Amino acid sequence: PRPSGCFVLVCSCSAVVRAWFVLLTVSLTCSQWFMISSSDEGQVIVVYRADYGRRDITTCSDGRPDSQLHNVQCSSPNSTEYVVNRYRLFGDPCGGTSKYLEVVYGCQDRTVACEGSQAKLQCDEGQVIVVYRADYGRRDITTCSDGRPDSQLQNVQCSSPNSTEYVANSCNWQNSCTVAAKSSVFGEPCNGTSKYLEVVYGCQGKSFK
């Protein structure tokens, strides 16, 4: 059965508002299903916050009796974790209250470099790089898989623990940056596995540094 309440509909990384160096979108609609999608090639969605419940008496209130609107301390724990993990259901945090789901997300640039090549990070003129996340290893069986034997693709729990720190120290506050995707740079997280470097980053004006 469909869960009751009002859910957020958030779509498209192209219709966003710039706030600091990230792109943030918050959009509400009173439907029973929600969707988050990215329309910009080379970008990924980063969920910053999600909350299922009720925090005010006006949002998603049309057609609802007053008795379902007054509990504004209603919140499902772990809402953000659930959205990040592919939209699991939330349970009922407050019986008798009309609920909605609010998601705040941003669209960040993403670059991937296969092992042995270089990741290139680039911002527009007058902007500088801020690294959100980096990972050298393997998290799926498809990325950088061409020409690789299956035996080198199966370990998808492979990650160099200091990837983000290294790339951030190398690239933050620069207009452009190149990082080699090599175990000699990041260490060897998993022998016998074909690896790649994935970097998620944003661009901001120099005045924010």
Last residue of a domain, one of 54, 78, 106: 106
Task: For the chain, give percent helix, strand, coil, nearest 5.
Answer: 15, 35, 50
pLDDT digits (tens, 9 = 90+) for 93-147: 888 888 777 777 667 788 999 999 999 999 989 889 999 999 999 999 999 999 9
> For residue 4, what are the CA distances in angstroms to 33, 103, 156, 167, 171?
10, 17, 36, 44, 46
In a shared domain, residues 132 and 168: yes
In a shared domain, residues 136 and 88: no
Last residue of a domain, one of 106, 126, 156: 106
* pLDDT confidence bin for 75, thresholds 50/70/90: confident
Residue type at position 6: C
Last residue of a domain, one of 106, 126, 143: 106
In a shared domain, residues 29 and 96: yes
Residue 87: Cβ-neighbour burial (10 angstroms; 0-12, 13-18, 19+)? middle
pLDDT digits (tens, 9 = 90+) for 38-60: 545 566 666 767 778 888 888 88
In a shared domain, residues 82 and 160: no
Ranges of H-type helices in the chain: 79-84, 163-171, 183-186
Higher per-residue confidence, 85 vs 122: 122
pLDDT digits (tens, 9 = 90+) for 144-184: 999 999 999 999 999 999 999 999 999 999 999 999 999 99
| Residue 5 counted as domain residue | no
Domain of residue 166 covers 115-208
Contact 170, 200 (CB under 8 A): no
Domain CATH number, residue 88: 2.60.120.740
